[in-house]
Chains A and B, each alone.
Chain A
Amino acid sequence: MSTIALHDEHNHDHADHGHHKETLISKYIFSMDHKMIAKQFLITGIIMAVIAMGLSILFRIQLAWPDKNFPFLETFLGKWAEGGRIKPDFYLALVTIHGTIMVFFVLTAGLSGTFSNLLIPLQVGARDMASPFLNMLSYWFFFLACVIMMSSFFIQTGPASGGWTVYPPLSVVAKAMPGSGLGMTLWLFSMVLFVASSLMGGINYVSTILNMRTKGMDLWKMPLTIWAFFLTAILGILSFPVLVAGVVLMVFDRSFGTSFYLSDIVMGTDILPNEGGSPILWQHLFWFLGHPEVYIVIMPALGISSEVISVNSRKPIFGYHAMVYSLIGITVLSFIVWGHHMFVTGMNPLLGGVFMITTLIIAVPSAVKTFNYLATLWRGNIRFTPAMLFAIGLVSFFISGGLTGIFLGNASLDINLHDTYFVVAHFHLVMGSAAIFGMLAGVYHWFPKMFGRMMNAKLGYLHFWLTFIAAYLVFFPLHFLGLDGVPRRYYAFTEFEFMKKWLTVNVFVTWAAIMAALAQVAFLFNFFYSIFKGKVSPQNPWESNTLEWTAPVEHLHGNWPGEIPTVYRWPYDYSKPGHDADFIPQTVPFSQTMSSNLPHDFEGNAEAEKIQQDWELANPVTENKG
């Protein structure tokens, strides 16, 4: 309460002081408004996604036609593709930077950064983030991280190329590969800035959610999006610092001759002086972040899809409490499963057994979430908006990719599947495709909130169907390569007799990937065109209950012109029997919906229940049977 009062005052100040006049720089560049920062995150994220997608097409071309020349590649890439053929070192750089950009810049900053920033203040009813300045810094650190990462394409030795997990000694010993020189230094520097950005964002999200909810918005009235962003932020705050610790040790090993990760190394006949370190230590530190990271990626997507599915099924999300508890379960468990990335890395096999148990337990909350989505669709009244299509696509990918996790989480099966294409297929479905679909669902759903205009639905349909089909065509066959023992990160399949039978599959997959990439043109055109020329959005285009749709379409600093609305009910009162419309916004008090109130709505409030009972006696239900 006190914070709300405080912020009202703050808003009042704004109106009074003339020096707050917005300039181009303060409005569009160093903006401290959460909505503008969300847009900055989104557009940067989209640009990075397009770059990462381009990189993936490059290495897919190499995989599909390993012995063909593509002279136009030389035009673009110069010595990295001499004679029109990508070199092995550059191929590894491509997969490394593709992975890094996708995981960190697109699916962490682009997803969490965009929607946490946009939705947290709007959905909990706050004027802005707890610390707008920190929020601005968060974006600019992220932007710097992106610039530095991309700058590594413009140096002699090329970008980091030891895989996105940058396992030492490969990434530490500069002689091991060209990418482990300056490119790796830039990678580490970029990552430190990125983590700083994530932490500033995360602390902001948590404090805003905990302290700045509007009147009536208790934790159990928050939309699942907010729950997801909240738990994601907590995960990030607790796990990202560990990565920084690991990165700092790596910087020491690389530049100051320490031996945290190095021991007993001989490059050719050159004996390195390092003694006593362990490369396994990096893996522990990296995956202590790395595994929570995949949940940092997927949880916001799950939160967004919960909201989108509920709104467009015109039905409350099934098992709201179970959804929240399974998110909490995933959050807690995700800290004790990192070892499943290390079953066969030489870690003590005793630990392998333990991590297998914790890993398979985490499948339970994930299963609960899936079943709850299905139950939400059941007997719904489904509107297939583009956002809804993407949310359904997410559920499909989450199932397909999640189930293969049961193979990989089983240490015994992982022996033969580790580091094969099966892993590639698994995480591209469950983390890549599902999270990207969650992000796209969010973009289509909240575009009117961000830009005050609607995106073209038909282009959205086209975009969805092409992408959905292409993503399955790309990733489904890859499972079988993995089951045949084809390792990932292979530059070409030409050196092994048994891999040659997969060359045709590679060609097919590459064409499907190109189709998926071209389908994104429909999105990009739609997105940028609609920012300027889209149909002007009504205030509540999807007839949604949540608080952000009570704010005016025109953006103003402080979100609501007058007082912040009070919240009376949970966000999922869709198609409530006894009510004329099929949605009741959170701001509608129960006194206005006497005909649709249920005893459950007044949990523990005897007085309210009494009033409701009296009203029902006075107004006997005759024909109102939903």
Chain B
Amino acid sequence: MSLRKFITNKTTAALAVLITAFANTSVFAQDAAAGAAAAPKVDMGEVYKSVIFYILVFLAACLFIAIIGKAIRVYELSREAQGKAVGINWNRIHASLFALFLVVGLYGVYWEYTVHGAMLLPDAASEHGKKIDEMFNLTLIITTIVFVVTHILLFGFSYIYKYSAKRKAYYYPHNNTIEKIWTIVPALVLTVLVLMGFLTWRSIFFKVEDPKNKPLQIEVTSEQFKWSIRYPGADGVVGNKNYKLTTATNPLGIDFKDLNSRDDEMADEMVIPVGKPVKLILTSKDVIHSFYMPHFRVQLNTVPGMRVYFEFTPTKTTAEMQQETNDPNFKYLFYCAKICGSGHYNMQKVVRVVSEAEYKTWIAEQKTYLNDDLRKQFNLPVAPAAAKSEADSTATDTAAVKTNQMALNK
């Protein structure tokens, strides 16, 4: 009670508020200094002190708020006692705060769009990605307009129609015409978006294969927490797998009885020729992962027991993208986007988009999955040329596959 008596005087109340405010700011300043000093040490005593310190800061803030609250209360009571109108018109304060929030908020949105909006992915580096980007932009424009207009109305109405004892609200329970309009207009806009989305979706997933420009098959297998890439070799076909064949020497369970498998090549990074369609074959060994390659607007989950396909055509080489983004270290990446365990946050591989010629030289250097150990395992003749260079052995293998294929075709 004594506290209240003390504060009844308006000047004392104001003083108390000011003193608390100053005390708080100086406390914060000390805190910053203390934090900087304590950083290098890992002494638990210090830590507990800092935790207690933060709690004290928070309690001081609470006390500060409580004092302000009491001061307001005292002010209102004194107004009431003097028979004047109610002290603080909270309705007006909130209305003004909403108006302020609208202005500052819209500026904040503008700031976000321009500052954070400039930090986003570069333009799509694939053919279908361009369509996705166009549609994204259209959706963004429509939603931004709706966002701004509805918020202006929401906070604008809150500001204009704040409570006044002199006024009565307008009794307006319904208006069927208006309601029809604002049902039909969103429906029409959404129909346009749905149609565009539907057609784009179909064009991405239901491609008609051009026999003259057959896509390059690349198989990607996910497991905790890495990716394995398999190129099809000279025959252009990725061979069969069977998870039951998985061993330490054959971690992907490739079935080398299938002739198509024998020339399949492994790679540490994904290298793809620009302008040529690529058909990704995605599978998983253990849990679900997600193959996410955002620069090309490609994502598909890899699911154990399923083979899923995503076809896309890269349009910009890594070098071109480095120029476009002004970043000499720019790299295309693919990484995991589906929670898959403790290493989920670091499961990436580099993608290099290169010219056709560069691709050819690169692919020629890659090793096949089939090695002598596996040959023995699958009762295949160990190549006599095993001592020779790997490239040669690939060549002989390819030849063998070709003759076999011809034999099969007969």
Contact = CB atoms under 8 A, between A and B. Distances in A.
A276 B264 CA distance: 27
A487 B299 CA distance: 11
Nearest to B115: A480
A379 interface: yes
Contact of A378 (B47, B139, B157): B157
A496 B205 CA distance: 29
Interface in A237-264: 262-264
Interface in A338-366: 344-346, 349, 352-353, 356-357, 360-361, 363-364
Interface in A156-183: 162-163, 167, 169-170, 173, 176-177
A477 B58 contact: no
A448 interface: no
B48 interface: yes
A314 B172 CA distance: 11
Contact of A352 (B139, B151, B205, B336): B205
B186 A169 contact: no
Nearest to A582: B168
A406 B69 contact: no
B310 to A, nearest CB: 9
A266 B132 contact: no
A413 B197 contact: yes
Contact of B169 (A404, A412, A574): A574
A344 B303 CA distance: 11
Contacts, number: 351
Given A266-B243, A361-B190, A377-B161, A416 B301 contact: no
Interface string A457-493: 1110110010011001000110010011101111111
B104 to A, nearest CB: 9
B157 A380 contact: yes
Contacts of A357: 194, 198
A384 B193 contact: no
Interface string A406-441: 110011110110111000000000000000000000
Contacts of B178: 375
Interface string A365-382: 001101111110111111
Contact of B300 (A263, A344, A413, A484): A344
Interface in B168-183: 168-175, 178-179, 182-183
Contacts of A411: 197-198, 201
Contact of B44 (A71, A169, A469, A505): A71
Contacts of B153: 374, 377-378
B236 to A, nearest CB: 24
A399 B201 CA distance: 26
A472 B107 CA distance: 13
B371 interface: no
A278 interface: yes
Nearest to A468: B101
A8 interface: no
A277 B119 CA distance: 42
A396 interface: yes
A377 B193 contact: no
Contacts of A582: 168-169
Nearest to A280: B303
B82 to A, nearest CB: 21
Nearest to A378: B157
Most buried by A among B120, B164, B183: B183
A314 to B, nearest CB: 4
A315 B161 CA distance: 11
A476 B169 contact: no
A521 B62 contact: yes
Given A396-B151, A407-B136, A492-B345, A487 B161 contact: no
Contacts of B143: 403-404, 406-407
Contacts of A87: 342
B84 interface: no
B294 interface: yes
B7 to A, nearest CB: 16
Contact of B290 (A263, A361, A396, A419): A419
Contacts of A372: 179
Contact of B329 (A271, A364, A412, A497): A497
Interface stretch (A14-22, A142-150, A205-213, A319-327): A319-327
A495 B342 CA distance: 13
A50 B46 CA distance: 28
Contacts of B80: none
B323 interface: no
B338 interface: yes
A609 interface: no
Contacts of A371: 182
A384 B171 contact: no
A184 interface: no
Given A169-B288, A487-B336, A496-B335, 19 more contacts: A71-B42, A169-B304, A176-B286, A265-B287, A267-B224, A271-B244, A319-B173, A349-B201, A374-B153, A377-B154, A384-B90, A415-B204, A415-B297, A476-B112, A477-B116, A495-B345, A497-B331, A501-B119, A572-B173
22 contacts: A72-B48, A167-B288, A173-B287, A176-B340, A264-B243, A267-B285, A314-B168, A344-B301, A345-B288, A349-B206, A363-B186, A364-B186, A384-B158, A384-B163, A412-B135, A416-B294, A457-B90, A459-B69, A476-B108, A483-B120, A485-B294, A487-B337
Interface of A: 69, 71-72, 87-89, 92, 162-163, 167, 169-170, 173, 176-177, 262-269, 271, 277-280, 313-322, 344-346, 349, 352-353, 356-357, 360-361, 363-364, 367-368, 370-375, 377-384, 389, 392, 395-396, 399-400, 403-404, 406-407, 410-413, 415-416, 418-420, 457-459, 461-462, 465, 468-469, 472, 476-477, 480, 483-485, 487-493, 495-498, 501-502, 505, 518, 521-522, 572, 574-577, 582, 626
